[in-house]
Structure 1
Amino acid sequence: MTVRSDSGIQCFTVQHDGVSIPVSRGGRGRPLVLCPGLNCTQADLYELVSLLRRDHDVATFDLRGHGLASPAERYSFDAFLDDLVAVMAELDLPSAPVVVGYSLGADLAVHYAAQCPETVAGLVLIDGANPLPEPFLADADFAEFRAVSEAEAARHGSLTAEDIFGLGIEMDVVRGEILDRYQKIDLPVHVIMSTAIAGDSAEGRAPRHNRLWRAGVERLIRDQPRISADWIDGDHGLVFTHAPDVAEIIRSRLASC
């Protein structure tokens, strides 16, 4: 059942794989689907979504175990990709949308476009889908990342610390192979990246992670010169701290899609 709010936002639920995925859609203009990332919900992206809905018909949703979505028996990259596939199949859009993905959502968007290119007009990828030249998480990072995973699990509830830790390890594998997916995509693609994904500290893992992040983007542009990039001076929270800048870049880059 679809419910329309006083502001004109349509809300409905997609059922698949034993999971309930809440979807919201609103705005006017060309269609756009926004895919959140790990430990991120459509509510978290409220400012960015509101800005984009001024001139786009924006649909967004919660991945399994996030926000208002129900918990699931499995949490993996392929399971989250199934969520995106299920949502896209239920959206009755007038034309192929631009798919915008944030963090893990960017990787999901690339894999989806490689599988179903005829259903996508273009991609905008925000701080994700980066073909890193080496794994982000080295052995020396595991203790700190476990602590981060525990904090995120306490904040969100459905995913355990082990779920989040395992997904972090899995994402290194996914990104190590993602150039193969880009090579299957003949669509306009633009990336928006943070200059300091791990923050601006000169100590700990931040300097290495920031260097790897930039090296991955440079690798992507060398392999796929048609892909364009913008950098925002910030960390991985740029969709929250720089939502107007992100929205303006998306708006300006959609002309080529």
Structure 2
Amino acid sequence: MYRRAQKGIGYLAQEASVFRKLSVEQNIMGVLEMTKLSKKEQKHKCNELIEEFGLEHIRDSRGDLLSGGERRRTEIARCLAVSPNFILLDEPFAGVDPIAVEDIQKVVRSLKEKNIGILITDHNVQQTLAITDKTYIMFEGRIFKEGSPEDLASDPEERLKRLEIERQERAQAEQERIRREQRLAAENAAREEALRQEAERKKQEEIARAEAKRKEQERREAELAKQLKEQERLKTLEKERKIAAEKAEREEALRQEAE
């Protein structure tokens, strides 16, 4: 962006380019801070752009809370922060409602009045023809028609081709929608499979822990039984030793009595 600004070129991408967690004012000031303007001049320029594009009521709103039209106006205001000679607008009408389309058209007309060159690429032919001075219609990668919006709008062949282009665009949009749904379905299936595998892993771990606990309990019970059996054997041996000792004493007593 800095190199483009040095060359006097501003660029508005098709995808949202606002900093989502920053306010409208912070988005514009973020660009102005890269210029050679003083802090006071930056603040003054920021206020001018906010007022010019009707952003005063949302200057403190975060980028992720803006509507499509508000986001577009913020992005265009940010482009103008570097005082460009030319602005490249890529699909400026994409993803915005009809009211926002009119707002953007008004903005483009005001930029033209400031003698700023504007290059627009857009699939919305009708909205684009309403604000351009010269138009090129491309079909299958080549320029199909060129001329003023009035000439192109009144050309029967161009209208037919435009209908074909719009039909192809609708078909592409439908294919993209199907691919997006398939991708989402695949992602959901992958997540569900991952959850299933995780649940199965936890189940197997629980079974393994239960089995290990059961074996440990059996080992302890076997060890206890072994200890009890050993104690019983020792008691029996002690009892037999006492009986043998008593018997020997009696026999010794009888022998002494006989003598």
Structure with greater helix share of residues: 2
| Structure with greater strand share of residues | 1
| Normalised TM-score (structure 1) | 0.30
Choose 1 or 2 for highest CA Rg.
2
